[in-house]
Amino acid sequence: MTMMTNDQTKRTPMVNCIICKADMKEDSRFCDECGAKQPVFVFCDEWGAEPVTSSFIPSTFSLLPSPLPKVKVSASDRAQAKKYADEGHEYWKKNNFKAAAEEYVKATRLDPNNNNHFFYLGFSLEKAQEDEKAIEAYTNASLRNPKDVAAYECRARVRIKRGDYKNALADYFIALEAEPNFSSLHYGAANIFMLMKDYKNAYEGYGRAVKLDCRNAKYEEKMAEAKKLYEK
């Protein structure tokens, strides 16, 4: 039988869920409260908590939504939808975001399979300060292409503006399941932890961003800031 070291016996066996913050055992894979899948961590003296594989543990449970089934779209409708989207882009360049949104709505109606039409609709609505509709459009984009992390990042941005940090954080962890090695996603999640005054998880998140992009001075500065706050 392997004997535990002094450091191991001192370590608390409890951690908090990455989504709902409920207490849970350190080696738990899923939260009993909200069911969120947890990243697996090891501990090192230099960095604190670090993911074993920079990824979530593979399982039959996933935070990623299932893609919607495609509907039949004719070639002519798809071509017309692209024309509407192009018109939307032109309005976008002129900062006429409401007019842009109207064109993207037309595009989504003719070609509801295209996630980009919904994404740019969300972007236009966000710029037009129509947050609820923007969140809905970004959600529709993610349901068309669940592995396109841009929709989750943008939806998180709108939710942060509204003070909905819990769901914004959930968006980042969904995105991280799709792209676990994107340093910007770890950085974005850490920023939300900072807003929540959860400086320990912020520090660890910035540390993961630094590990993935050690040349980014901004990441290192934020990690140092979080460390000071955490150690107060």
**Domain containing 92 — which CATH number?**
1.25.40.10
- For the record, the structure tokens of 10 come out as 């001192």
- For the record, the structure tokens of 70 come out as 């495609």
Return the bridge partners of 37, or none.
30
Q: What is the pLDDT of residue 16?
A: 62
Where does the pLDDT of residue 31 fall: very low under 50, low under 70, confident under 90, or very high at 90 and above? Answer: low
In this structure, the answer to whether residues 115 and 155 fall within a common structural domain is yes
Q: Count of domains in the chain?
A: 2
Q: Poorest-confidence range of 107-111, 131-135, 145-149?
A: 145-149
Give whole-number Cα distances, 222 to 42, 105, 187, 188, 228, in Å. Answer: 22, 39, 9, 11, 10
Q: Is residue 69 one of the residues assigned to a domain?
A: no
Task: Answer with the one of 137, 166, 195 that is the final residue of a domain.
Answer: 166
Structural domain containing residue 25: 15-62
Q: Are 40 and 52 in contact (CB under 8 A)?
A: yes
Q: Is residue 104 one of the residues assigned to a domain?
A: yes
Q: Is residue 211 one of the residues assigned to a domain?
A: no
Handedness of CA 18, 23, 26, 32 (dihedral sign): negative
Q: Is residue 129 one of the residues assigned to a domain?
A: yes
In this structure, the answer to whether residues 155 and 81 fall within a common structural domain is yes
In this structure, the answer to whether residues 33 and 104 fall within a common structural domain is no
- Give the count of alpha carbons within 13 A of 18, CB side only: 29
Q: What is the pLDDT of residue 66?
A: 86
